[in-house]
Each structure stands twice: as structure tokens, then as C-alpha cells.
Amino acid sequence: SIRRAEKLGLLGPDALLSHCIDLHDDEIDLVAKTNTKIAHNPSANASIAGRCPATEMMELGACVALGSDATAPDRSGDMFRHMQQAMHYHRRHFRDADVLPIGKVLEMCTIDGAKALGMEDRIGSLEVGKAAV
């Protein structure tokens, strides 16, 4: 659990947690307050009927990147598919077509992914001096 990870000193700006389904409000707060990074895998979460409160964490300032779980047997490395699924997943949950706009989802795959890995100074955006991979 997030609370146990905090007690063990495992949360913080160098920590990257995956999935994070069914978190309580106090756990969402801990993620944001500790600057812990999140890899949100909407396809995997949907397959187990869990929900990552990615939008709630982002509202509190947490860095949430988009993942694919592509090595799992029933997953895909197609990030465009995962982008669409992330939007659908959260919009359906909130019954609001404006939740998680496409621009934010693109950031989750680019600059937020780089931030989650601590590499935002080298990748994640099209800027002079950064690798265009």
C-alpha cells in the first residue's frame, strides 16, 4: 500500500509506481505531497476492473505518465491506443467528455514520461539540445 511505502521511506521524487489502482484520498495526497511519479496503465487497469485515480493525482500536481504494459500477453505497444483508452476510461468514470483532454494525454506520453524517468532535461519535448528519439 501507499501508506506502507511511505512508512518504509520508499516514496519520493525518485520513486515510480505503476498501476496504483483503488487508492484512498489520503494515499492520493501522499503521492502528490511526496512528488512520487506514477506510470498509469489504463489498458491493464481496465482488464482487472481497477481504477487508477490519475486525474485526481494530476489535479494535486503529481506527475502521471502513460504506460502500456506491452510485455503482458494481452497488451499492445501502440501508445495511441493507450492514449485513447486513457481518455475513454476517465471520461466514462466521471461521465464528462472534457476530462483528460488530448493535449494532457499527449504530455503524459512525452514530457511527463520523461519527468517520471528523471530525463526531462534530455528527452520528452522537441527542444534544441534534446534527443529526438
User: Could you tell me what percent of the chain has a pLDDT over 90?
Assistant: 80
Mean pLDDT of 77-82: 89
30-57 residue pLDDT tens: 999 999 999 999 988 888 888 999 999 9
How far apart (Å, rounded) are the C-alpha atoms in residues 62 and 70? 24
CATH class of 2-116: alpha beta
Axis-axis angle for helices 79-94, 102-109 (nearest 10): 130
How far apart (Å, rounded) are the C-alpha atoms in residues 64 and 109? 9
56-60, 76-80, 82-86, 122-126: lowest mean pLDDT where? 76-80
Q: Model-level pTM? A: 0.92
Task: Read off the pLDDT band of 74 (50, 70, 90).
Answer: low
